Structure 1
Amino acid sequence: MPASPAQAIVGGTESARAYSFMGSFQPSYPAPPRPDGHGCGVEVLAPQWVMTAGHCAGKNPTNAKVGVPRGWKVRVGALDTTSGGEVAEVDHYYRLATSHDDGGFWGRDVALMHLRTPVRAKPVRIASTTPSDRTPVRIMGWGMTCGDFTNAACFPTRLREADTVVQPSSACPSSAVGELCIGSPDGSVAASNMDSGGPALVREGGRWAVAGVVSGPDESGKTLYTDVTRHADWINGIISGGNVPPDDQIPNVEGAADLGNCVGSVVRTPASRPQDPALLLTNGHCVQGQRPAPGAALVDQPADREAPIADRQGYPQTTVHANRLVYATMTGTDIALYRLDKTYAQLKDEGAKVFRLTSTRVRTGDPLTMAYTGGRFACTAEAVVTHLREGGYQQDGSIRYATSEDCTPSHGNSGSPLLAPDGATVVGIHNTHNDAGEQCTDDNPCEVGPDGAVTSVQGRGYGQQVYTIGACLTKGSKLDLSRKGCTLTGAKPRPGRRSGRPQ
């Protein structure tokens, strides 16, 4: 079951009055896909503390467990997500677990968020014990009332609620230890998408108490709630200040450009001037539309692509728009260059990281840092292989990474820059790894030695040299394949030299 938002209140009705402790979590990054900005539910536990689901606070770029967010706020004590109540900025988050914890994630999907300023809302307390089967509960939230993300009517701005019961764990086949199974037997009353973090309320001493927070849907149609009563010591330890975990050491991901399916980086050459349009480097196989054919290159084509450029923590420092595909090939190397709508001077003014593009090749033993939008890998060039073949393409002088727990790129890391120890120079670009140990097929690159011997090892990762790019670029971020020293695929032949690369 993925750590994604659960399904809003199905089978409920609009609340007649506001609950002082109930709130809407509204992060600006990543922005929820709805006009009101609502992403998850929260509950006020103390004047500067709210509780939500762990995966809601997991919407930080590096999947950190404890850290400082950017652009997060909550609106509490309101019926409507767009008005009323109190609005406060979130300045810290604490997640009990991440999906990578050895202790497991399910049943521990809970988080606390600290508010920069206190709110006057009356808090709700944690229930004293796990509610037994058939216990009446009230659920509420602003989640989706239908499944069409393009239909604004599916996103209610008014709080909805429903009364239901705790079901036996056996009624939720996908439930884990520490989760409550909640909803009507047929699933007609349950939580919904963007109700995540919302409460399951029980009555104790004539007052509401929160027993659980929405974690995710069950295959039965009911909803799985994290039983927060099991984590009262963790919650109280943080709120009281007696046991506050330290911030995670967040890797510096400055300059990584998020292309959705790939990663990129803004690069400049010695010929680049401040007034020149900036260039973004990624893989040739990351281009939109038709990939360049074996033995060929795409040159000077229209483009329409946006990419946020990350700050040190991975939040967008600025956003650029690629309006031209300057060059792309998957032969000889696997690169693509986009021309952006901003100059190098503009990006400098906006605080965006711009890397230098190397003019020297990576050699065996060179240390490399692979920068991607969610973190960094520490890699070493184990070898520079003669040829790398994959799915009908061949690259030359490819960089094989040494096998290491610190260097485990996967799908989605394509296009990530390989940085020199100075952290400012792009010396290569990640492009592939062998998934299944097959030879020379898609996602299974093979090495071809000088003697023609073919080897293929499952799990091996590879990057491409980029030192040849600068020789083909001129002032104004223009490509000139006829320049002396330009050897990229498609370069104009000169006497005594062949163009392109062998297949």
Structure 2
Amino acid sequence: MRSRFLLLGAVTALTLVGAVPAQAIVGGTESTEAYSFMGSFQPGFPAPPRADGHGCGVEVLAPQWVLTASHCAGKNPTGARTGVPRGWKVRVGSLDTTSGGEVAEVDHYYRLATSGDEGGFWGKDVALLHLKTPVRAEPVRIAAATPPDNSPVRIMGWGMTCDDSKNPACYPTRLREADTVVQPASTCKNASPGELCVGRRDGSVAASNMDSGGPALVRDGDGWALAGVVSGPDGVHAPTLYTDVTKHAAWINDVISGKVVPPDDEIPNVEGAVELYGCVGSVVRGPAAKPDDPALLLTNGHCVLGERPAPGAALVDRPADRLAPIADRQGYPQATARANRLAYATMTGTDIALYRLDKTYGQLAAEGAKVFQLGSNPVRAGDPLTMAYTSERMNCRAEAVVPHLREGGYQQDDSIRYATSAGCKPWPGTSGSALLAADGVTVAGIHNTHNVDGGQCTVDNPCEVARDGTVTSVRDRGYGQQVYRIAPCLAEGSEVDLSRPGCALTGARG
């Protein structure tokens, strides 16, 4: 799949492709009259980084159906094509994302395409959301045909108006619109079949980040018809790419009419995974943990925010402030805690970080959150392992325990090499995933790296060092770290005490 940014309103890319420079709807103005069919999709999880909860645009096509971009519905935790969401809603028929119009809960989503489709994703970036209750808003019709080049279109949305994601002023709550044209496809260098190139050639009128799913409208008598929905930018200072919805009118109409009812995807059990946005974690308890002890969150040392531990060193008892949503079976938060202390982190000897949470084991148990047992025995060659990622469970096996693993100036010892298999192929973003033992409740190890391009001992290219000093690096080979050294260092109250007898973590004073 070619690299292209999506105009998605989430904290991170969520398995999509990076962040996009700001493309404020310049040349546009605040809308003075509401469009009954225009709406704001407010997914709730993952929560967009704005107070109004807006993530994408939607258009009402029928009393219980709205259309948006597929990558907007891809915000479901496991990236499923079809399924039942949690906490999704739309506000339609209002100029403002915070008040007015009608609010309805989304109870089902149907995505035409996903990023893993062999037939491609671009040009098929559309999804239907079914509403739990009907809305009274007057629907918009789908245009009868693809608008010709240079056709006038109207675009609109609540996308960002500046590029500072931490500045509330960059997130308008009032609908904005602009009149522009459909450019020839050749104007957009990344246009795929089934896409419209919309906006001024220099990008001075274009859709903005968090306008995904928003409409390109053409005149239909005295009203409007929907020709396209925002998919992503063509680049900086360039028009925007819209999926041509006229190409998918048959699929849309078949789903809305009930002629075609796509089956729900089978959702993997991802209970207990903690989304750390770029890394993964899990809540673990040591053998002597008590219900009133603060819970501990385990992830990689290289996943800490801010300063990483230096080679040969550890970070101990540092302030922290990090959200920890603990997933239920379908990946939605069963409970949410906050990491308020970095108890320990190192990338030497092993690659681990332990955060103390603001909730106890007893509190998490009362909320039904999954807590894993921290393993006390080393992983051995041949041991079955399950990699607990946020959207799937990967079936792995320990192929070998290698004496030393080196990467970018760090060295870990007794590292776990996975056997190469179709079911165990980690990628960037899986760092910190728990490696579960055969019982499914014991964290036996923690995934931390894989060799990206065959390089030797460089960042993202770990190499094995044998006892005789032989260095080996193999592209795509994945590795995890042992965790059995952690338990001897845990004291009462979930404190890490490096002076305890038997503690052998980096920095130990015992």
Whether TM-score is above 0.5 comes out as yes
1:259 matched to which residue of 2?
A: 276
TM-superposition CA deviations, 1:93-114 (whole Å, max 9, x none): 1111112211111111111000
TM-superposition CA deviations, 1:150-201 (whole Å, max 9, x none): 4444333232323332221122222111011222344433322222211122
1:469 matched to which residue of 2?
A: 486
1:97 and 2:152 matched: no
Is this contact kept in 1: 2:7–2:230, CA < 8 A?
A: no
1:32 matched to which residue of 2?
A: 48
SS at match of 1:476: helix
Q: How far off its partner does 1:141 sit?
A: 2.0
Distance 1:196 1:373 in 2: 24
Selected match of 1:321 from 322, 328, 338 = 338
Q: How does 1:104-119 map to 2 (within 5 A)?
A: 104-119=120-135
Closer/same/farther in 2, CA of residues 473 and 155 from structure 1, 3 Å limit: closer
- Write the letter of the residue equivalent to 2:453: A
SS at match of 1:164: strand
1:394 and 2:438 matched: no
Selected match of 2:61 from 45, 64, 75 = 45
1:148 and 2:151 matched: no
1:456 and 2:473 matched: yes
RMSD between aligned residues: 2.1
Distance 2:308 2:153 in 1: 54
SS at match of 2:186: helix
1:409 matched to which residue of 2?
A: 426
Aligned residues: 493
- Write the letter of the residue equivalent to 1:295: G
2:364 matched to which residue of 1?
A: 347
SS at match of 2:150: coil
Selected match of 1:370 from 380, 387, 405 = 387
1:282 matched to which residue of 2?
A: 299
2:29 matched to which residue of 1?
A: 13
SS at match of 1:333: coil
Q: How far off its partner does 1:3 sit?
A: 2.8
- Write the letter of the residue equivalent to 1:433: H
2:347 matched to which residue of 1?
A: 330
- Write the letter of the residue equivalent to 2:217: L
- Write the letter of the residue equivalent to 2:208: S
Is this contact kept in 2: 1:9–1:142, CA < 8 A?
A: no
Q: How does 1:350-361 map to 2 (within 5 A)?
A: 350-361=367-378
Q: How far off its partner does 1:422 sit?
A: 2.3
2:197 matched to which residue of 1?
A: 181
Selected match of 1:307 from 324, 338, 345 = 324
- TM-score when scaled to structure 1? 0.92
Closer/same/farther in 2, CA of residues 216 and 361 from structure 1, 3 Å limit: same
Closer/same/farther in 2, CA of residues 340 and 130 from structure 1, 3 Å limit: same
Distance 2:65 2:308 in 1: 50
SS at match of 2:439: coil
Closer/same/farther in 2, CA of residues 199 and 439 from structure 1, 3 Å limit: closer
- Write the letter of the residue equivalent to 1:250: I
Q: How far off its partner does 1:79 sit?
A: 2.1
1:196 matched to which residue of 2?
A: 212
SS at match of 1:346: helix
- Write the letter of the residue equivalent to 1:392: G
Name the % identity: 76
Q: How far off its partner does 1:206 sit?
A: 4.2
Q: How far off its partner does 1:209 sit?
A: 1.6
Moved more, 395-404 or 130-139: 130-139
Q: How far off its partner does 1:301 sit?
A: 3.3
2:6 matched to which residue of 1?
A: 3
Distance 1:313 1:239 in 2: 26
Distance 1:13 1:323 in 2: 43
Larger radius of gyration: 1
1:239 and 2:279 matched: no
1:86 matched to which residue of 2?
A: 102
1:74 matched to which residue of 2?
A: 90
- TM-score when scaled to structure 2? 0.91
Distance 1:72 1:393 in 2: 43
- Write the letter of the residue equivalent to 1:281: L
TM-superposition CA deviations, 1:337-363 (whole Å, max 9, x none): 222221100111122211001112211
Gaps (5+ residues) in structure 2? Answer: 9-19
Gaps (5+ residues) in structure 1? Answer: 494-503
Distance 1:490 1:148 in 2: 39
SS at match of 2:493: coil
